Amino acid sequence: MSHDAVLTAVEARLTSTFGEPDARAAVTFLGADRIEVLRFHDADGLVRYATLGMSAAPMADPTSVVADPVAGPRAELVFTVRGGRDEVLRPLATLAASPQVEGLVVAPGASLDLGAPLWEGAPFTSFLVAEPGGLVEDLELPEPADPVHFLPLLPMTPNEAAHKRVHGAAELQERWLRHGTDLRDPLRRGVPLD
């Protein structure tokens, strides 16, 4: 499947899940293919931002000498926030370009740290990459290509990110669950970590 065919299929999966996007932004980074971020509104006031472009090529293990052009993990990022925060468009595109630019393999349980607030005044500076499959179903590609996973991004405060580094992603997610944390609330406080 060509890069374009993969992205056409990915966009079709996103629109069949969320409806038509009401906005899209494109960002191009030196040494990387163009990344788009699509914005979807739903009836409950939630806004979902999904990257388009990260899955065009498989993520390569940075230690391998030759990158396989077909096999290897493929993903797009999905961030959901109540009311929307369009300032996240560029940070999301930056993270989606990181496999191409920095040779990162983005996988569930990873932290993606921006080193700055996700938007002005945001209490969050990084994301936890969650397990795929719950929000958008994986997109199967013809063999030998791996399926495209749609990875939900959960915003973390600096303290939560530090806690996750020490205790792991599963423990942080368990804590969020125990405290009934609304991870889509753009103004939520960090979960108690004592």
| Local structure of 163: helix, strand or coil | helix
169, 49 contact by CB (below 8 A):
no
How many Cβ atoms from other residues are within 10 Å of residue 178's Cβ? Answer: 10
pLDDT in tens, 45-69: 999 999 999 999 999 866 666 667 7
In a domain, 186, yes or no: no
Q: What percent of the chain has pLDDT over 70?
A: 96
Nearest 5°: the CA angle 140, 34, 184 is 65
192, 138 contact by CB (below 8 A):
no
Q: Is the pLDDT assigned to residue 78 strictly greater than 70?
A: yes
Q: In this predicted structure, which of 63-67, 73-77, 101-105 has the lowest mean pLDDT?
A: 63-67
**Which whole number is the average pLDDT over 165-172?**
96
In the chain, the number of structural domains is: 1
Q: Is the pLDDT assigned to residue 186 strictly greater than 80?
A: yes
E strands, 10-87, where? 23-27, 35-41, 46-52, 74-82
Domain that holds residue 80: 3-178
In a domain, 191, yes or no: no
In a domain, 189, yes or no: no
pLDDT in tens, 9-29: 999 999 999 999 999 999 888
In a domain, 185, yes or no: no
